[in-house]
Structure 1
Amino acid sequence: MNEATASLKESLGRYGVWSVQLRSGSAAGGTERSEAAAELESLGFGAVWLGGNTSAADAAPLIEATSRIVVGTSIQSIWEHEPAATAASFAELEVAHPGRFLLGLGVSHGPRVEGYNRPYSRMVDYLDALDRAGLRSGHRVLAALGPKMLELSRDRAAGAIPYLVTPEHTAQARERLGEGPLLAPEFKVVLSSDPATARATARAYLARYLSLPNYTRNFLNLGFTDADVADGGSDRLIDAVFAWGDENTIRTRIDAFLAAGADHVALQVVEDDMTVIPHEAWRRLAPLLT
């Protein structure tokens, strides 16, 4: 492991929060988002991962409102942001707040991008352009699921930030990455001990992802079946990609990712209303992670 990656892992710590509510343009106002980031820092989380197609512009207000926490994009779509502009905005933040912004890049999904083609080659080209613009590999991570993209995150970035995965995927990813690169999977949490309630909340949220081939293909590669990815997801799939239950159960589920080789777990609280910042849920989660 090189010194830069070791420093990055130390900065991120074991646990972060993945949130769509803290990006610019969400239902929450700018002051509320900044105050929420400051509270996450005080609760001991090491990172905020901004969900959806986000950029340095989304990260900057949160970085300015805090003193330590790392803010990352999860992800910035390579189809919607030019490499030169990406490098310039990164450099501006890096000068003002060294080591506080981590660029997470992804290829998005065919159904969401007009003219989607050759995503792996497009990512290689994008990384080449970032290299030419001076944005070094140690400052970027890739949303990698399959073997080729994981290898690219190993060879051309600081590591991988897989989304919507299981500990089994994490173990496979760690084997492909080796020990050095960062591996920071996202994991969804529903803070309910009632099976019917928890699964209903999870299923309603998961349904949007089951129309995206990248995710369904990854589930099938992990041993799930066509029946598991139909109709919003089977109980088996829900229980694999969401943690729900009492505090001890949720902590055990999170620990499984670390045992499988994750350096850091990005925790996404899933509730029925995903437009509201889940302050209370984050406060409940924080003591489980000490």
Structure 2
Amino acid sequence: MLMELSGVGIWSQQLRYGDPGEAAEAAAELEELGFSALWVPDVGGPLFDAVGRLLAATRSAVVATGILNLWMHAPADAAASYASLTDAHGARFLMGIGVSHAPLIDADEPGRYRRPLAAMAGFLDGLDSADPPVPATERVLAALGPKMTALAAERARGVHPYLVTPEHTRSAREALGEGPLVLPEQTVILCSGAEEARAIGVDWLRGYLGLPNYANNLLRQGFTPEDVASVSDRLFDALIAWGDEEAIMRRVDEHRAAGADHVCVQVLTADSRTFPREQWRRLAAALR
């Protein structure tokens, strides 16, 4: 039986790297609030321990990696962890897999990041040949461009694009056709106006725009090098939904109308170290 992925989820670095006790408590509350999946990043550290804690704290929510960084894990080890977590908690672990970014991977080992499409195919080969394997139906790929999207159509259940617009969601749906999942991340800021939104989001966004994979994807979508270099208002507003709950829900609905099966919302606040639990509650009330 395939795990169901619909509705709205939460993408949160706090659930992964914040206090483990509060992360478990917050995960249980997020499930009660009606969020269908919890997504966590992977930029080092014991990923599967964190996933296991979130699965143990919840009863039915999917816990997904957004994304498992394939350069940091051996396929056989990832498959063994998948099997252990699934045995303990049922089919609730969705393995999102990505190739990360050359500046991050090459920082400690220059030249390691190369041929990312081939690296992904090789990692999937390892998951397929593991005993037991990770089924293609329980993994998705962090695909931004057409080649990785095509690979996801062949060898995964769908795509989990990060830092994208509803227009990108529409393109992904058109490329995949009906059936494969399109599961975009949407960054949001609950705030009173544009000045507050930019005070919270510009530096955060600038950090991502310095990574070639994201910058090139935005150029493919029609943004200009100046948009990217300056973090223009046009680019900011396209990537970050800001304002009140109605504004946030309107952007989520745009992704759905463009073909998304599920949208995972990442809430930004002025203090990235704290769990944005008040904001999560406000969004849950708006969803209801």
Q: TM-score range by the shorter chain?
A: over 0.9
Say whether 1:89 aligns with 2:81. yes
The whole-number CA distance in structure 2 between the counterparts of 1:74 and 1:247 is 24
Say whether 1:203 aligns with 2:202. yes
2:64 alignment counterpart:
72
1:289 alignment counterpart:
287
The whole-number CA distance in structure 2 between the counterparts of 1:247 and 1:127 is 39
2:257 alignment counterpart:
259
Once the two structures are superposed, residues 183-204 of structure 1 have per-residue CA deviations (whole angstroms, 9 ceiling, x without a partner) of 1000011001211111221112
Do the aligned partners of 1:51 and 1:73 also contact (CA within 8 Å) in 2? yes
What letter is aligned with 2:281? R
Which of structure 1's runs of 4+ aligned residues deviate more than 4 A? none
What letter is aligned with 2:199? A
1:62 to 54, 66, 70: 54
Secondary structure of 2:186's match? strand
Do the aligned partners of 1:19 and 1:51 also contact (CA within 8 Å) in 2? yes
2:6 alignment counterpart:
13
Say whether 1:214 aligns with 2:213. yes
1:279 alignment counterpart:
277
2:31 to 41, 62, 72: 41
Say whether 1:111 aligns with 2:110. no
2:109 alignment counterpart:
none
Secondary structure of 1:227's match? helix
In the TM superposition, residue 124 of structure 1 has moved relative to its aligned partner by 0.4
The whole-number CA distance in structure 1 between the counterparts of 2:208 and 2:222 is 18
In the TM superposition, residue 100 of structure 1 has moved relative to its aligned partner by 1.2
The whole-number CA distance in structure 1 between the counterparts of 2:14 and 2:238 is 24
1:248 to 242, 246, 249: 246
Q: Over aligned residues, Cα RMSD in angstroms?
A: 1.1
The whole-number CA distance in structure 2 between the counterparts of 1:52 and 1:286 is 25
In the TM superposition, residue 49 of structure 1 has moved relative to its aligned partner by 0.2
Once the two structures are superposed, residues 161-212 of structure 1 have per-residue CA deviations (whole angstroms, 9 ceiling, x without a partner) of 0000000000000001111011100001100121111122111210110110
In the TM superposition, residue 142 of structure 1 has moved relative to its aligned partner by 0.5
Do the aligned partners of 1:45 and 1:286 also contact (CA within 8 Å) in 2? yes
What letter is aligned with 2:83? A
The whole-number CA distance in structure 2 between the counterparts of 1:206 and 1:22 is 20
What letter is aligned with 2:57? A
The whole-number CA distance in structure 2 between the counterparts of 1:266 and 1:131 is 27
In the TM superposition, residue 88 of structure 1 has moved relative to its aligned partner by 0.3
For residues 128-147 of structure 1, the aligned pairs below 5 Å read 128-133=125-130, 134-147=133-146
1:163 alignment counterpart:
162
Secondary structure of 1:216's match? helix
- Stretches of structure 1 that go unaligned for 5 or more consecutive residues are none
The whole-number CA distance in structure 2 between the counterparts of 1:246 and 1:74 is 26
Once the two structures are aligned, what percentage of the paired residues are identical?
A: 51
TM-score by length of 1: 0.94
1:22 to 12, 15, 25: 15
Secondary structure of 2:15's match? coil
Do the aligned partners of 1:13 and 1:45 also contact (CA within 8 Å) in 2? no
In the TM superposition, residue 250 of structure 1 has moved relative to its aligned partner by 1.8
The whole-number CA distance in structure 1 between the counterparts of 2:26 and 2:144 is 30
Aligned residue-pair number = 279
TM-score by length of 2: 0.94
Once the two structures are superposed, residues 78-100 of structure 1 have per-residue CA deviations (whole angstroms, 9 ceiling, x without a partner) of 11100000000000011111111
What letter is aligned with 1:48? L
